[in-house]
Structure 1
Amino acid sequence: MSNWQEMAAESSAHNGLTEAEIAFIREHLYDNPGELILKAGKFRGLDVKKLAGQIQSRQKALKKLPEWSANENLIFPPALSVEQCSSEATAHYKAGIVSGKTLIDITGGMGIDCYYMSRSFAQTHYFEQQLQVASTAEYNFTQLGATRIHVHAGESLTALRNGLTADWLYADPARRDANKEKVVRLADCTPDVAGNAAVLLNAAPNILIKTSPLLDIDLASKELQKLKEVHVMGYEQECKELLFILDREMREPDFKIKVRIIDAAGQPIHELDFDREEERNALVDYSRPLGYLYEPHAAVLKAGAFKTLCARFNVRKLAMHSQLYTSEDYSAPFPGRCFRIVAVCKPDIREILQHIPGDKANITTRNFPAKPEELRKKWKIKDGGDHYLFATTLADQSKVVIVCVKPI
């Protein structure tokens, strides 16, 4: 990381940004930060390196953090921290599933989740070991009017061992090791929430843990004590994060998996609750493509609800490993993308072109021996348009291309 990027969070948390600095950021918000550095001599009296860092971070945050981006007084951390923080959408969702008198956020950071969840509590304790990060968060909380958040620049587990308690405890363990390399196993994250489960559960009866969507749910479930629920969070077309809820009173080892595909306000668009036993016992019918085709959302696939979809939404699978579904009648509530089937073709461009106008279509492959970009190059088809081509393998092992359009 370059020096000017590292300086993104170095504004004084006590003094904040000056009017001149705010005006500079506003005027150059959509400019290239690197080019601003090269022109620093033109802007006398301003620390352009610092401001370029702020601009780069705000550019990263415009879509992800619209409310924070709209507040010109806030100080943003380096762009990498913005990339790694929760979105406002998922933070709003978390705020809707926790409540009580006291919340403890043991991993602090930028404070997005802490800020939104604090609205559901009478008081919140925010812990962050890095003094500058904690100081900046405290300044931002003040600017946002979050007066019920108490900021602690220090190590959280010590405070918990010394008797600090709450109704809910929140943890977003750092997912990078000492070499700044990404890690996904709970034991490799900091703090080790599984290894410190006894301390956490002694401090609060309810624990909410956010992890990377890459974490293996079943492996994590074996590491965590008192696991009650796993929320698999989908936003737009991606699986964004996993939320593990621990309950001190849990007796049974079974846990519920809750898929939530949310909108920008954190409200669920699609919901799917199931458990591993239901998935194991669900019956599956296989079929050739019928009237409609369904592609499950990435969060549904991450949750492993492959067979449960058939029972809940009256759809059939095309093949065991293709993870595409079909039905004669339209199933509007299906948690994913839905299409009306126009034709089922061999993987032959001459046959496919009979069903699409021009040379433009969107290509997806599922359980097919070629990638979309390879087919696009081979078939000389441009990306885009109103038609969708799904290259896949059916239950009888035949390779087909299903030509679709949006259902409505």
Structure 2
Amino acid sequence: MNQPMIGQENLKTGFSEAEIEFIQKHKHENASQLILKAGQHKGFDVKKLAAQILSRQKAAKKLPEWSAHDQLIFPPALSVEQCSSEATAKYKASLVSGQQLTDITGGMGVDIYYMSKNFAHADYYEQQEEVAATAQFNFRELGADHITVHSGDSLEAIRNGAKPSDWIFTDPARRDANKEKVVLLSDCTPDIPSNLSVLFQNAPKILIKTSPLLDIDLASKELTNLVEVHTVGYEQECKELLFVLDKNATGQNFKIKARVVDSAGGILHQLDFDRETERNAAVTYSDPQAYLYEPHAAVLKAGAFKSICSIYDVNKLAVNSQLYTSDEPVTGFPGRSFKIIAVCKPDMKEITKHIGGDKANLTTRNFPAKPEELRKKWKLKEGGDFYLFATTLSDNSKAVIITAKY
């Protein structure tokens, strides 16, 4: 659904009471169907209000505090999908504090809203006037009067002597002029690596947020003064990478911090290491024992494939399988933990002997077939209490490990 401009009148005064009532009354309805029935709602710009409804539906789980606020103006649904969740924004807020914060890439403003709670004042820069105006309206409604909104080029403002900061935050755009995804930080907008000297003139510390698809080691080679990389997981996904830079830092041995957070940004699981520790970590391999462990996506993104063995006293199934096992249950493992019921050949007749039916959850790790291919081949329905892991063992044999949660 193409979403219309919000309208300058709304950016100044917000929606009328009648419009807010319309949005709340229809907030669970299909936005496209509402537009088709626009004739039934005389006196309303249904297309504009349907866009708000769609965005609020996208935000309901991701931004519960914001979506519960009737007065806020939401950007197009795609922008809501791409913005930080409240959970990850609150985690970022736990990393920064001081007197002055500067967000040089603006956007919807979720990150700076939560991070700014730890600062006396914050400056928000956004080049798109409508986006900046929407953020300014929302900050006012949220009571964040200590955030000053600027519509313009943040780097130019810093070059011209913008107010010094304790921290700079940036979430550079990860698509080029042709809307293609980019691989290097230097290909993002703005080009942070090329402008580090400018940014460090304004603040001694910088926090960079990127997509979890970015290669950590490639990015680390582009950045000077790198002290930490955080891989942030929420629910079952790795949501973002955070690069912490310190102007006074020396050396290249940055810490990697895998974090799985809850809805309040609190840490559920954590694992700290560095590349040298990972290289030198001792790994033991074994066949499946009594328990099976699948690391969280944030841990896998961090690359703690060997370190996890020594930290949690588990064995690895195979070099490339990224599944772990132990004879005794491990407390606090950063991922999913299962009790092993059986290990069998990747054959449905064998599997059925243990699950007693045709329904189970299925994951593949280092296995020459995708889950959907195996489901079709085995006529396996999704769900139930059994969890199957199709994988490769250390002797290169293929197996299905049948498990249940404990």
Partner SS, residue 119 of structure 1: helix
Report the Cα offset of residue 13 of structure 1.
1.4
Correspondence for 2:393: 394
Report the Cα offset of residue 12 of structure 1.
2.2
- Provide Cα deviations, 1:346-387, integer angstroms capped at 9, x if missing partner: 112111111103211011111111111111111111100000
Matched, 1:303 2:285: no
Report the Cα offset of residue 9 of structure 1.
7.1
Q: Which moved more, 1:157-166 or 1:121-130?
A: 157-166
Correspondence for 1:77: 75
Native 8 Å contact 1:7 1:53 kept in 2: no
Q: Assess, with a 3 A threshold, how the Cα gap between structure 1 residues 400 and 73 changes in structure 2: closer, same or farther.
A: same
Q: What does residue range 8-407 of structure 1 map to in structure 2 within 5 Å?
A: 12-164=10-162, 165-407=164-406
Native 8 Å contact 1:11 1:75 kept in 2: no
Tell me which amino acid in the other structure corresponds to 2:115: M
Tell me which amino acid in the other structure corresponds to 1:26: Q
- Provide Cα deviations, 1:216-274, integer angstroms capped at 9, x if missing partner: 00000010110010010000000000000000000111100000100000001001010
Aligned counterparts of 2:397 and 2:8: Cα–Cα separation in 1: 59
Native 8 Å contact 1:8 1:57 kept in 2: no
Tell me which amino acid in the other structure corresponds to 1:267: G
Q: Assess, with a 3 A threshold, how the Cα gap between structure 1 residues 86 and 313 changes in structure 2: closer, same or farther.
A: same
Native 8 Å contact 2:139 2:147 kept in 1: yes
Tell me which amino acid in the other structure corresponds to 2:337: C
Report the Cα offset of residue 176 of structure 1.
2.0
Tell me which amino acid in the other structure corresponds to 1:114: I
Native 8 Å contact 2:171 2:209 kept in 1: yes
Native 8 Å contact 2:386 2:403 kept in 1: yes
Q: Which runs of 4+ in 1 moved over 4 A?
A: 8-11
Identical pairs, percent: 66
Native 8 Å contact 1:394 1:400 kept in 2: yes
Native 8 Å contact 1:8 1:51 kept in 2: no
Partner SS, residue 233 of structure 1: strand
- Provide Cα deviations, 1:82-123, integer angstroms capped at 9, x if missing partner: 011000000000111100000000001100001001100000
Report the Cα offset of residue 312 of structure 1.
0.2
TM-score with structure 1 length normalisation? Answer: 0.98
Q: Which moved more, 1:292-301 or 1:156-165?
A: 156-165
Tell me which amino acid in the other structure corresponds to 1:136: T
Tell me which amino acid in the other structure corresponds to 2:174: R
Partner SS, residue 179 of structure 2: coil
Tell me which amino acid in the other structure corresponds to 1:216: D
For the aligned residues, what is the CA RMSD? Answer: 1.1
What 5-or-longer segments of structure 1 have no aligned partner?
A: none
Aligned counterparts of 2:194 and 2:259: Cα–Cα separation in 1: 28
Q: Which moved more, 1:200-209 or 1:6-15?
A: 6-15
Partner SS, residue 202 of structure 1: helix
Native 8 Å contact 1:232 1:241 kept in 2: yes
What count of residue pairs does the alignment treat as equivalent?
A: 405
Tell me which amino acid in the other structure corresponds to 1:80: L
Aligned counterparts of 1:24 and 1:168: Cα–Cα separation in 2: 41
Partner SS, residue 11 of structure 2: coil
Native 8 Å contact 2:90 2:264 kept in 1: yes
Native 8 Å contact 2:4 2:47 kept in 1: no
Partner SS, residue 355 of structure 1: helix
Aligned counterparts of 1:174 and 1:350: Cα–Cα separation in 2: 50
What 5-or-longer segments of structure 2 have no aligned partner?
A: none
Tell me which amino acid in the other structure corresponds to 1:192: D
Tell me which amino acid in the other structure corresponds to 1:179: N
Tell me which amino acid in the other structure corresponds to 2:223: L
Native 8 Å contact 2:344 2:350 kept in 1: yes
Report the Cα offset of residue 8 of structure 1.
5.1
